Amino acid sequence: MRVLVTTPSFGAQSPDPWTVLSEAGIEAVRPAAAHPLDAHALAGEAEGCDALIAGLDDVRGPALASPTLKVIAKHGTGTDNIDVEAAAAQGITVVNAPGANSGGVADLTLALILATARRLPEADASCRAGEWRRFPGLELAGKTLAVLGYGRIGRAVAARALAFGLNVVAYDPYVADFGPDVRPATLADALAAADIVSLHLPGGGGPILDRAALASLREGAIVVNAARGDLVDETALAELLLSGHLRGAALDATASEPLPTDSPLLTAPNLILTPHIGAQTDLANRAMGMAVAEDVVRVLNGEAPRNPVPPKEGTTA
- Catalytic amino acids? 228, 257, 276
* End-to-end alpha carbon distance in the chain: 31
* Contact present, 71 and 93 (Cβ < 8 Å): yes
Question: Could you give the CA distance from residue 212 to residue 202 in angstroms, rounded to a whole number?
Answer: 20
Tell me whether the omega of the peptide bond preceding residue 31 falls within 30 degrees of 0, making it cis: no
Question: Could you give the CA distance from residue 204 to residue 284 in angstroms, rounded to a whole number?
Answer: 24
- Cβ-in-10-Å burial (0-12, 13-18, 19+) of 104 comes to buried
Tell me whether the omega of the peptide bond preceding residue 36 falls within 30 degrees of 0, making it cis: yes
Question: Could you give the CA distance from residue 53 to residue 35 in angstroms, rounded to a whole number?
Answer: 12
DSSP state letter for 131:
-
SS3 (DSSP) at 271: strand
Question: Could you give the CA distance from residue 288 to residue 302 in angstroms, rounded to a whole number?
Answer: 21
H/E stretch holding 71 reads strand 71-74
Residue 281: CB partners within 8 Å, gap ≥ 6? Answer: 13, 101, 103, 104, 107
CA atoms within 13 A on the CB side of 225: 25
- Amino acid found at 123: A
SS3 (DSSP) at 12: coil
CA distances from 190 to 1, 34, 194 (A): 49, 39, 6
